[in-house]
């Protein structure tokens, strides 16, 4: 029971962490803690085969799948804590508490007396005799289920290309058209850190007028709130006599044409 009393509080804390974690990745790590602890509890409960399967299938395969999808979906998909149905969270809490009390007092008290245990019965051989004996039909059906699931995943994740792939020529024509219509710069945008104080990827490049260019850093960094603030925008240097006007231009051109007017 020592293992149980060490692991049970950890598991409950990790499960609560899964529910309350703001970032999905933290929740996934909490779930991994729960699953590995469960594997240890299986080993304690005379189930060495399930111990191995739990580690290999759950923490090895399923959690990795979750982490892969989290990486694909990206950091922008943070959970919004806004309630869309009014009072839903409170109602959910009440219902869950009621259900928890019912489950713990009802189902968890059904076992009385000491456990019978398995004695000397070998675990893996016994499971094999059951799987390939009375449960052989269910076992064969699971193989069909797994193949169907694999095919379904391939069909769902497959994406048909509906339009032809844009070539380099069409892309360049599109750039020129954008420049003609909206004035969008046709050239390469500056990479992060150009002319800025740091050349790190989280520092936006500075434009010729000293303002940071937000598009030069990755959108993921902006979503994560890891954009390093560039230097404050530099005020354009104003001439001494205020903003230049047409008169100033005329004066300067006169100076340039007629030489110096000071003497």
Partner 1 sequence: MTEYLTLSMVLFTIGAAGVLVRRNAIVVFMCIELMLNATNLAFVTFSRQHGTLDGQVAAFFVMVVAAAEVVVGLAIIVSIYRTRRTTSVDDASLLKL
| Least spacing, CB of residue 64 vs partner 1, in Å | 11
E strands, the chain, where?
205-206, 212-213
Give one DSSP letter per residue of 139-167, joined into a string.
HHHHHHHHHHHHHHHHHHH-----SPPPP
| Least spacing, CB of residue 225 vs partner 1, in Å | 18
Q: Is residue 255 within 8 Å of residue 248, measured between CB atoms?
A: no
Structure tokens at 22: 């703001």
Phi/psi at 184 (5° precision)? -70, 135
73 touches partner 1 by CB under 8 A: yes
192-211 residues in contact with partner 1 (CB under 8 A) are none
79 touches partner 1 by CB under 8 A: yes
131-190 residues in contact with partner 1 (CB under 8 A) are 131, 135, 138, 142, 145-146, 148-150, 152-153, 156-157, 159
Q: How far is the C-alpha of 139 from the C-alpha of 145, rounded, in Å?
A: 10
| Least spacing, CB of residue 160 vs partner 1, in Å | 12
Q: Which stretch binds partner 1 (CB under 8 A): 80-88, 160-168, 227-235, 245-253?
A: 80-88
43-72 residues in contact with partner 1 (CB under 8 A) are 45-47, 49-50, 53-54, 57-58, 61-62, 65-66, 69-70, 72
């Amino acid at each position: 029971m020592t293992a149980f009393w060490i692991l049970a509080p950890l598991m409950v804390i990790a499960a609560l962490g899964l529910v309350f974690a703001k970032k999905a990745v933290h929740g996934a790590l909490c779930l991994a803690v729960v699953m590995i602890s469960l594997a240890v509890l299986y080993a304690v409960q005379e189930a060495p085969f399930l111990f191995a399967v739990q580690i290999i299938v759950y923490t090895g395969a399923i959690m990795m799948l979750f982490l892969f999808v989290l990486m694909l979906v990206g950091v922008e998909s943070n959970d919004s804590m806004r309630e869309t149905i009014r009072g839903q969270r409170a109602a959910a809490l009440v219902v869950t508490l009621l259900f928890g009390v019912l489950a713990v007092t009802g189902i968890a008290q059904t076992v009385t007396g000491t456990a019978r245990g398995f004695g000397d019965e070998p675990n893996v051989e016994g499971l094999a005799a059951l799987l390939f004996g009375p449960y052989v039909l269910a076992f064969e059906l699971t193989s069909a289920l797994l193949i169907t699931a694999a095919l379904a995943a391939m069909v769902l994740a497959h994406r048909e290309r509906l339009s032809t792939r844009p070539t380099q020529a069409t892309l360049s024509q599109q750039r020129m058209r954008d420049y003609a219509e909206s004035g969008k710069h046709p050239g390469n945008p500056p990479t992060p850190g150009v002319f800025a104080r740091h050349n790190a990827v989280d520092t936006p490049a500075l434009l010729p007028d000293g303002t940071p260019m937000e598009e030069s850093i990755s959108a993921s960094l902006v979503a994560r709130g890891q954009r390093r603030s560039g230097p404050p925008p530099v005020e354009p240097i104003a001439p001494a006599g205020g903003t230049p006007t047409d008169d100033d231009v005329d004066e300067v051109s006169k100076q340039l044409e007629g030489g110096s007017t000071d003497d």
